[in-house]
Amino acid sequence: MVPVSQLLALKGQDLYRLRPEDPVIDAIQLMADKGVGALLVMEGDRLVGILSERDYARKVILKGRSSKDTPISAIMTPAPLVTVSSKSRTKECMRLMTDRRIRHLPVVDDGKVVGMLSIGDLVRSIIEGLEGEVEQLKQYIAG
């Protein structure tokens, strides 16, 4: 299992974020533009929450709120959040996501957000690792 720092290096460390006072419609547009399912909610460099498509579906659509008039702070999952460091391993991240039933993990080192992982990032990494092991086993068996 590889460290999170390696996943971020391969994935890139783009941080998509908005402020708590921004309207939800801005968040949905940014998620659509960037092809992501969650955004960091930050005040300056401080992580104050996370906003996911699930938050939007459950707290805006189902409650009949307006995406234009509702601030992100009204529907985000507020801090303290489940986070990992860049030294964490993929197995630990998968366990956290499974146990906590979450799909996104902010990566925080020394109080600074350095990236975000999705369940898809972790699954992709695990599959690639298993494919590599299978290939090594095939070569070993073939001699």
Specify the CATH number for the domain of residue 107.
3.10.580.10
Instruction: Give the pLDDT of residue 86.
Output: 95
| Structural domain count, the chain | 1
Predicted structure pTM score: 0.85
Q: What's the domain range around 14?
A: 4-142
pLDDT per residue as tens digits for the range 55-102: 999 999 888 889 999 999 999 999 999 999 999 999 899 999 999 999
What φ, ψ does residue 16 adopt, rounded to 5°? Answer: -100, 120
| Vertex 40 angle, CA 97 and 112, to 5° | 90
